[in-house]
Amino acid sequence: MAGGADDERLFDDLAGLLAANGVSDFVFAPILLPTDEFFPDAWRGDLRSAEVMLRRLMAHARLSSLPFSLRLDTDPGWAEDESSEPPHRDAAAFFAGVNEFGTYLFGIRAAHLSEPMALAGILAHETAHAWRFRRDITQTHDATEERLTDLSSLFLGFGVLACGIAHRNDRALAQRGYLPLFSVATGLGLQLALRNEPNEWSRVKEQLPVDARAIVDEVRERWLPRRAELLDRLRLPPEAEWVKKAPPALPVRWEPKRAAAKDIVFRVNQPPVLPVAAALGGLGALVALANWVWWPVLIVALTPLALLIRRDVCSGCGSPLGQRTRCAGCGGDVVGRIKRRADHRRAESAWLAEEGNEQASAAKDIARSLLDDARKGTP
């Protein structure tokens, strides 16, 4: 097993994180598992499902009060949002900072929507980036920031999810700062030794890949009899001085908000009424000055032509959509197409009813994938 300088840096980084943010969440907050308890929502393999997953992760990180946006990396809105960082070209998902309105911006590649187990770990990492940004503890050196973000994932209770996506000594990823599986699993083992909850370990180990489970178990067993020394290594106060925070508020089951129509919108293909009306009016005025007789003839001749000029607009606010998947005018997610804006409310009710009737669970898909990895003994 690895050790030496790597172990020392892991202890130092973790001690610094605990000194800056307190011990409470690290030792008392729940460790998320890919089970119905933590991911009870329906999984449809679309952007909305990923947004629901991200909302839960943000809530566990005590960021539920922050507005956020999750878009595909191909969304044209990235080019229009000058306040955001450009998408990371080779990343499965990314945190792109905060725009001028205070919205936390996340992106994701569509290919990863079919892998909920991996996506949970990926979005947990990006949530940790957002948490570090919110607490103003980000580092300017990219590799250092990625290493500390992986440790922050552990701090927030995402260690099991992180083990599911940690690399196995990939040199390119290591150079970019991402922690290898050994370091992530070591950090999780230290956390479990500090918490010293046998029942918790029995639940956690069932959800870990085989190689990660072996590392976590070895580290936990090594430090359990030496918890006093571990407290000293991590520069923590005595256990009697630990103060437990109130747990973060979490919904039992996420339901899309129904109060604001702008949350869900539809494409409506219609002519641009105001521009067409202005053009007809201008032409009509010119003709009218020349000869009033031709004004009715002009209207009859040009109206059918004007109606052929059509574009997609938002059913909620009427703003042009282009190729966007989220309306720039009202912020609504584009989930389908309807014929008339007047049908918006009825279409919204039907969509929400269908959403509520979904029986598939994200947690079941995640757990199945993780257990398959464990049976195969993922290398």
For the segment 288-316, what is each residue's pLDDT rounded down to a tens digit? 555 555 556 555 555 555 555 678 888 87
Q: Which residue has the higher pLDDT, 216 or 248?
A: 216
Mean pLDDT of the chain: 79
- Residue 330 predicted with pLDDT over 90: no
Q: Which of 27-41, 83-97, 143-157, 225-239 has the lowest mean pLDDT?
A: 83-97
**Whole-angstrom distance, CA of residue 120 vs CA of residue 129:** 14
Q: Are strands 264-270 and 93-98 parallel, antiparallel or unpaired?
A: unpaired
Q: Which of 24-28, 152-156, 369-373 has the lowest mean pLDDT?
A: 369-373
Q: Which of 275-279, 292-296, 359-363 has the highest mean pLDDT?
A: 292-296
- Residue 193 predicted with pLDDT over 90: yes
Q: Structural domain boundaries of the chain?
A: 5-256+363-376, 261-356
**Whole-angstrom distance, CA of residue 118 vs CA of residue 103:** 25
- Residue 221 predicted with pLDDT over 50: yes
pLDDT of residue 271: 72
**Whole-angstrom distance, CA of residue 30 vs CA of residue 239:** 18
pLDDT of residue 126: 94
**Whole-angstrom distance, CA of residue 335 vs CA of residue 333:** 6
- Residue 53 predicted with pLDDT over 70: yes
Q: Strand, coil or helix: what is 326?
A: strand
Q: Which of 73-82, 181-190, 215-224, 359-368 has the lowest mean pLDDT?
A: 359-368
Q: What is the mean predicted confidence (pLDDT) over 186-196?
A: 94
What one-character DSSP code corresponds to residue 261?
G
- Residue 148 predicted with pLDDT over 70: yes
Q: What is the mean predicted confidence (pLDDT) over 140-169?
A: 88
Residue 50 · residue 117 · CB < 8 Å: no
Length of the chain: 379
**Whole-angstrom distance, CA of residue 42 vs CA of residue 27:** 30
- Residue 98 predicted with pLDDT over 80: yes
Label residue 201 by pLDDT band (50, 70, 90).
very high
**Whole-angstrom distance, CA of residue 68 vs CA of residue 104:** 4
Label residue 165 by pLDDT band (50, 70, 90).
confident
**Whole-angstrom distance, CA of residue 269 vs CA of residue 258:** 24
pLDDT of residue 291: 58
Residue 338: CB atoms within 10 A of its CB come to 18
- Give me the sign of the Cα torsion angle 223, 225, 226, 228: positive
Label residue 259 by pLDDT band (50, 70, 90).
very low
The residue type of 94 is F
Residue 16 · residue 229 · CB < 8 Å: no
What percentage of the chain carries pLDDT values higher than 70? Answer: 73
CA angle, 120 as apex, 115 and 123 as ends, to 5°? 110
pLDDT of residue 345: 80
- Residue 248 predicted with pLDDT over 80: no
pLDDT of residue 320: 82
- Residue 247 predicted with pLDDT over 90: no
